[in-house]
Amino acid sequence: MPTARKPIIELKDVWKVYQIGDVKVEALRGLNWKVYPGEFVAIQGPSGSGKSTAMNMVGCLDIPSKGHIYLDGQDISHLSESGLAQIRGKKIGFIFQKFNLINTLSAAENVMLPLMFLNVAADERREIAEKVLTMVELTNRMEHKPNELSGGQQQRVAIARALAVNPDIILADEPTGNLDSKSGAMVMSFLEKLHAQGKTIVMVTHDDKLAHYAERIAVLKDGEIVENITHTKNFGKSFKDEKE
């Protein structure tokens, strides 16, 4: 008999409760969700739905109040901050809406930074940075600082930085939120290429049209999944067409 496919991400009855003064805010309420290797999935929902909190759980940026989170079979629910940091560095690449680049560093230096924390040798760091910046078509911008780059170019540096550690999972948080339609189309094209190469991609978005780039959409409301949607990606439209 064939072996059942195992999820690379699994959330089991995950709750996240924040105490704000005398008030308890339930950001996640018994969330159950699985992502399988090589999938392109989206977490969608309005502001306050819990999608960013869910992303933080998957990305080892926070731990649940109760419940369990498994990353590639390992229960990460109650790891220390140092333990979470080690997993983030090796398994997860982040792409943020606001790029989160360091303005005093060049594009290449921004890409090399996570490799320094993994104790990669200087020559190898440079080689990797040049390789991934070439992949995102920024060969002639490697020594430019973020304020010398367009928004689309900065986001491509962020993609290169995410790829530098060769992660199993790419987490993209509103990756086109600060971009025009042309730059957004290019960023989504790179994410699709990464998916075609076998990367697991989890994207958070509030945008219906952007979510349709994913194979599967988990719709959150009040900290719970209220709908799972599986469909053919893109519905035959480009990101540029949808924005226009």
Query: Would you say 110 and 164 are in contact if contact means Cβ atoms under 8 Å apart?
Result: no
Quote the CA–CA distance of 122 and 129 in Å, as a whole number.
Answer: 11
Query: Of 124, 102, 103, 106, which is closest to residue 115 (Cα–Cα)?
Result: 124
Query: How is residue 89 written in tokens?
Result: 């560095």
- Residue 70, φ and ψ in degrees, nearest 5: -115, 130
Walk across the sheet containing 216-221 and list its strands: 92-96, 169-173, 200-205, 40-44, 216-221, 224-230
* Beta strands 23-35; 9-20: pairing state: antiparallel
Predicted TM-score (pTM) of the model is 0.84
122-135 and 151-164 helices, crossing angle to 10°: 130
Query: Would you say 107 and 138 are in contact if contact means Cβ atoms under 8 Å apart?
Result: yes
Per-residue pLDDT of the chain (244 residues; tens, 9 = 90+): 345 689 999 999 999 999 888 888 899 999 999 999 999 999 998 888 888 899 888 888 888 999 999 998 889 988 888 888 888 888 899 888 888 899 999 999 999 998 988 888 999 999 999 999 998 889 999 999 999 999 889 989 999 999 998 898 999 988 888 888 888 888 888 888 889 989 999 999 888 878 888 999 999 988 889 888 886 554 434 444 444 4
pLDDT of residue 4: 66
Domains annotated for the chain, with CATH where assigned, are 39-62+80-243 (3.40.50.300)
Quote the CA–CA distance of 205 and 186 in Å, as a whole number.
Answer: 17
* Beta strands 40-44; 216-221: pairing state: parallel
pLDDT of residue 123: 93
Q: How far is CA 237 from the centre of its chain?
A: 23
Quote the CA–CA distance of 102 and 94 in Å, as a whole number.
Answer: 15
pLDDT of residue 238: 41
Query: Would you say 5 and 36 are in contact if contact means Cβ atoms under 8 Å apart?
Result: yes
- Residue 127, φ and ψ in degrees, nearest 5: -60, -45
pLDDT of residue 2: 46
